[in-house]
Amino acid sequence: MEQSMISDMILQNQMVLYGQPKWTFGKNTCNTYELFVSYFRRGDGSLLPAWPILEVIERDEAMTMLFSISLLWEAARKTVHLSNSASSNLTLSLNLLPRFAESPQFVEQVKNCLAETGLEAKRLQFEVSELQDLNEDGCRNLKEIHDLGVMLAMGNFGTSHSNLPLLYQVPFDLLELDKSYAALIPENPMVCRAAIAIQHMADTLDIKLCAKGIENQDEFEFFEGIGAYKGQGSLIGNPMTLDALEKYVKTYALEKGHK
């Protein structure tokens, strides 16, 4: 697909957002939702899967910036709408592309987005994959927005080389355990022990743990039992349209002012 066509779809806000809940263990509630682009809509109304288009976007710096800024603003607006509709304080979780985090525009774009949309800084969470390296500018920018109150999560933890240097260079609030762990729990004792060890490490570093890929009750109970903070997966809720997500929010999100 030509880059000009992709740029047009972004500029015309033809990104179709889906959302997936992140459950808070021990509270029987869910106030954090990951939003992402699942499809792009062409001029004729047909939908194109997002993943091959995102691969093209990530290879081009200008398109990465255009996409990242557009997604940030649109997701923030949708989150504020959902919060008001459900009378809840929702947290938006977004995957962050390194090129955007490293750009000179990043901090100012985040500040402007929060100010214009009304989304509170503490209600925004960026996910940075451990598979991605950030340069000094990226680490500095993340520290700056963290000082504003924005939350930071390291995603895909426990795969590949487990990026510990990034973990102590950036003030992460959340460590997201890769879904490959949940797939082997509770049948594989070594994986269970590794997950427990990662939870202990997170406790030591004063970072909360989110377990991804939870598909059954045994996995849910395991992570709840070891003290994980949040969980995500098909048992909790598959990726869904924003209309379906609104119904989910109204069912499981805490209302504003709830103690």
Could you list the pLDDT tens digit for every one of the 259 residues in the chain? 688 899 999 999 999 999 999 999 998 889 999 999 999 999 899 999 999 999 999 999 999 999 999 999 999 999 999 999 988 899 999 999 999 999 999 999 999 999 999 999 999 999 998 777 789 999 999 999 999 999 999 998 987 666 778 888 899 999 999 999 999 999 999 999 999 999 999 999 999 999 999 999 999 999 999 999 999 999 999 999 999 999 999 999 876 544 3
CATH code assigned to 3-252 = 3.20.20.450
Do residues 128 and 101 lie in contact, with contact meaning Cβ atoms separated by under 8 Å? yes
How far from 210 is each of 32, 110, 121, 215, 237, CA to CA, in Å? Answer: 11, 24, 20, 14, 15
Do residues 72 and 101 lie in contact, with contact meaning Cβ atoms separated by under 8 Å? no
Strands 151-157 and 174-177 come out as: parallel
pTM above 0.85, yes or no: yes
Q: Where are the domains of the chain?
A: 3-252
* Cα–Cα distance measured from residue 71 to residue 15, given in angstroms and rounded to the nearest whole number: 8
CA angle at residue 216 from 213 to 217, to 5 degrees? 125
The length of the chain is 259
